[in-house]
């Protein structure tokens, strides 16, 4: 790590080909590893093990690369800059821009409240702020990588697209509902005495370093979730019979979408834990719309985040927020069940 | 030197607190460390990302947890006249 910090550019030149080489031998490597264990071919356990030893390194590799790139991209954005860009935008334009910025602005749900206050203080409309608060957790780089790695680019793009549509419309609707009275009064009385932190614009060398620190931060944090998620996925892959999920989460079960959302909202996991599970469910006959709805409600709406937001939002607005987003997710679920 | 750790008690704030104490003791510096957990007070410092590190009422870190070595540099740079 010390060398990487000292020579950020040089280390990229060395590490990138290494990454490509590793990725290229994944399939053969996993097959060879399964052969080495001496497990009988075609058995359930063998298939579960094969799934695990192939998916874990693949997803970790993809995650590392994308988190690195996103770390560099994010060094160009900050909540302060995003706030400045959103100031004075009209309602709809503001919603679109806020949802897009939600993808690239660094965000952690523990900062949701200071960010909310910062936006309100700058006079950004509530609806626009909500667009940001919906898109930022839901469309995150981990979700996009996993979807790309496990399902291909079409599904990843689809997820980003529908996430944007939900964030834009939900924010727009909340803006139209005139919910200012449901924000805790003290929020409007805050006038910060300092302009926050004045950050010097980093040079490119430092941006590469922020890519590396994003990798050690994020990959270091999510890998246990990933192992558990892929482990559960491997279990489902090997042991749950084909089409088992078709009756429960298939297209024919009209109630499956709202039920998936109802189960998903209180559940909390990051994308790394839930997506491998969703992949396995899909492989066993769950329909795409239902699986997508489940995943979005788990990642996008989380109990801890709503509890944190309760500090600045009165209860009715919490319900409106969760309700509008959940409703949007249900519509997306039905839409995809209809189209696919 | 008066140091404040801004944050609602999440993981990052605790790490920042611990590392700041470590940096202080390695530098043999004396300081009072205060935890600021109320959102109203945190927002008054104008930061939009937690955790925050405030030295003598000046925000010096916001939104990330620097390693101990970096914290030492920051502490030395913002140390008032002795």
* A114–B10 CB contact, under 8 Å: no
Question: Which residues from A are below 8 Å from B14, CB to CB?
Answer: none
User: pLDDT (tens digit, 9 = 90+) per residue, A49-101?
Assistant: 888 888 888 888 888 888 888 888 888 888 888 888 888 888 889 999 999 99
Cα separation, A204 vs B8, in Å, equals 33
Distance from CA of B40 to the nearest CA of A (A): 7
* Higher per-residue confidence, A78 vs B35: B35
Q: What is the pTM of this model?
A: 0.81
Residue A164 is predicted with a pLDDT of: 94
Residue B43 is predicted with a pLDDT of: 82
Residue B41 is predicted with a pLDDT of: 84
For chain B, say whether A231 makes contact (Cβ under 8 Å): no
Question: Which residues from A are below 8 Å from B63, CB to CB?
Answer: 78-79, 106, 111
For residue B72, what are the CA distances in angstroms to A34, A316, B5? 49, 46, 15
For residue A161, what are the CA distances in angstroms to A64, A164, A199, A205? 23, 5, 33, 32
Distance from CA of A229 to the nearest CA of B (A): 23
Q: Please determine, for residue A271, whether its predicted confidence score (pLDDT) is greater than 80.
A: no
How many of the other CB atoms lie within 10 Å of CB of A132? Answer: 30
Closest residue, chain B, to A190 (C-alpha): B44
* A114–B59 CB contact, under 8 Å: no
The H or E element spanning position B34 is: strand B32-36
- When pLDDT is averaged across residues A174-203 and rounded to a whole number, the result is 75
Question: Which residues from A are below 8 Å from B7, CB to CB?
Answer: 110
Confidence of residue B61 (pLDDT cuts 50, 70, 90): confident
Confidence of residue A126 (pLDDT cuts 50, 70, 90): very high
List, in sequence order, the alpha helices (H) in chain A.
Answer: 2-6, 8-24, 26-37, 44-74, 79-86, 91-104, 112-121, 126-138, 141-151, 153-176, 185-189, 204-214, 220-239, 246-249, 256-264, 271-283, 288-300, 303-309, 315-339
ipTM value: 0.78
Give every CB contact of residue A117 below 8 A, 6+ residues apart in sequence: A187, A190, A312, B39, B43, B48
Confidence of residue B1 (pLDDT cuts 50, 70, 90): confident
Question: Which residues from A are below 8 Å from B40, CB to CB?
Answer: 186, 190
* A190–B10 CB contact, under 8 Å: no
Residue A171 is predicted with a pLDDT of: 94
Cα separation, A242 vs A21, in Å, equals 34
The H or E element spanning position B3 is: strand B2-6
Q: Please determine, for residue A335, whether its predicted confidence score (pLDDT) is greater than 80.
A: yes
Confidence of residue B10 (pLDDT cuts 50, 70, 90): confident
- When pLDDT is averaged across residues B71-77 and rounded to a whole number, the result is 88
Confidence of residue B81 (pLDDT cuts 50, 70, 90): low
Of A47-51, A123-127, A193-197, A243-247, the range with the highest mean pLDDT is A123-127
User: pLDDT (tens digit, 9 = 90+) per residue, A292-311?
Assistant: 888 888 888 878 788 888 88
Which residue among A108, A113, A194 places its CB closest to the CB of B46? A194
Of A6-15, A42-51, A158-167, the range with the highest mean pLDDT is A158-167
- When pLDDT is averaged across residues B65-77 and rounded to a whole number, the result is 87
Query: Do residues A163 and A135 touch, judged by C-beta distance below 8 A?
Result: yes
Q: Please determine, for residue A182, whether its predicted confidence score (pLDDT) is greater than 60.
A: yes
Average pLDDT over chain B, rounded to whole? Answer: 86
Residue A195 is predicted with a pLDDT of: 53
User: pLDDT (tens digit, 9 = 90+) per residue, A12-43?
Assistant: 888 888 888 888 888 888 888 888 887 777 77
Q: Please determine, for residue A131, whether its predicted confidence score (pLDDT) is greater than 90.
A: yes
* Higher per-residue confidence, A273 vs B51: B51
Distance from CA of A34 to the nearest CA of B (A): 39
- What residues pair up with B34 in beta bridges, in sequence order? B4
Confidence of residue A255 (pLDDT cuts 50, 70, 90): confident
Confidence of residue A129 (pLDDT cuts 50, 70, 90): very high
Confidence of residue A196 (pLDDT cuts 50, 70, 90): low
* A114–B44 CB contact, under 8 Å: no
Average pLDDT over chain A, rounded to whole? Answer: 83
Q: Please determine, for residue A199, whether its predicted confidence score (pLDDT) is greater than 60.
A: no
For chain B, list residues whose CB is within 8 angstroms of any CB belonging to chain A: 7-8, 10-12, 39-40, 42-50, 58-63
* Orientation of helix A153-176 relative to helix A315-339, angle to 10°: 140
Please report, rounded to a whole number, the percentage of residues in chain A having pLDDT higher than 70.
Answer: 91
Please report, rounded to a whole number, the percentage of residues in chain B having pLDDT higher than 90.
Answer: 20
């Amino acid at each position: 790590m010390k060398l990487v910090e000292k020579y950020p550019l040089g280390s990229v030149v060395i590490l990138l080909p290494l990454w490509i080489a590793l990725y290229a031998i994944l399939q053969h490597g996993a097959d060879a590893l399964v052969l080495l264990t001496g497990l009988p071919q075609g058995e359930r356990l063998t298939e579960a093990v094969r799934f695990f030893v192939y998916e874990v390194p693949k997803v970790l590799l993809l995650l590392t690369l994308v988190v690195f790139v996103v770390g560099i991209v994010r060094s160009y954005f900050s909540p302060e800059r995003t706030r400045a860009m959103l100031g004075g935008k009209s309602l709809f334009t503001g919603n679109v821009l806020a949802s897009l910025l939600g993808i690239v602005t660094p965000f952690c749900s523990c900062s949701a409240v200071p960010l909310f206050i910062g936006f309100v203080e700058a006079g950004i409309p509530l609806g626009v702020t909500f667009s940001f608060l919906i898109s930022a957790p839901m469309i995150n780089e981990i979700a996009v990588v996993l979807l790309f790695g496990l399902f291909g680019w079409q599904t990843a793009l689809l997820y980003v697209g529908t996430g944007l549509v939900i964030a834009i419309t939900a924010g727009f609707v909340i803006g139209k509902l005139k919910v200012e009275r449901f924000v805790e009064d003290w929020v409007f009385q805050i006038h910060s005495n300092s302009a926050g932190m004045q950050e010097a614009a980093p040079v490119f060398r430092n941006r590469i370093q922020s890519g590396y620190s994003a990798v050690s931060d994020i990959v270091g944090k999510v890998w246990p979730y990933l192992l558990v998620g892929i482990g559960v996925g491997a279990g489902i892959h090997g042991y749950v019979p084909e089409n088992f999920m078709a009756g429960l989460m298939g297209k024919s079960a009209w109630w499956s979408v709202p039920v998936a959302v109802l189960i998903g909202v209180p559940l909390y996991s990051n994308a790394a834990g839930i997506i491998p599970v969703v992949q396995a469910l899909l492989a066993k006959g769950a329909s795409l719309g239902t699986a997508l709805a489940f995943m979005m409600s788990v990642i996008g709406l989380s109990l801890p985040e709503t509890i944190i937001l309760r500090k600045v939002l009165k209860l009715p607005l919490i319900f409106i927020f969760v309700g509008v987003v959940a409703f949007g997710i249900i519509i997306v679920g039905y839409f995809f069940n209809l189209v696919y | 030197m008066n140091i404040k750790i801004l944050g609602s008690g999440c993981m990052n704030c605790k790490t920042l607190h611990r590392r700041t104490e470590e940096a202080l003791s390695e530098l043999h510096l004396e300081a009072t460390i205060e935890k600021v957990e109320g959102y109203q007070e945190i927002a008054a410092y104008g930061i939009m990302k937690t955790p925050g590190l405030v030295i003598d009422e000046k925000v010096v870190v916001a939104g990330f947890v620097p390693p101990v070595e970096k914290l030492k540099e920051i502490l030395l740079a913002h140390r008032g006249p002795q």
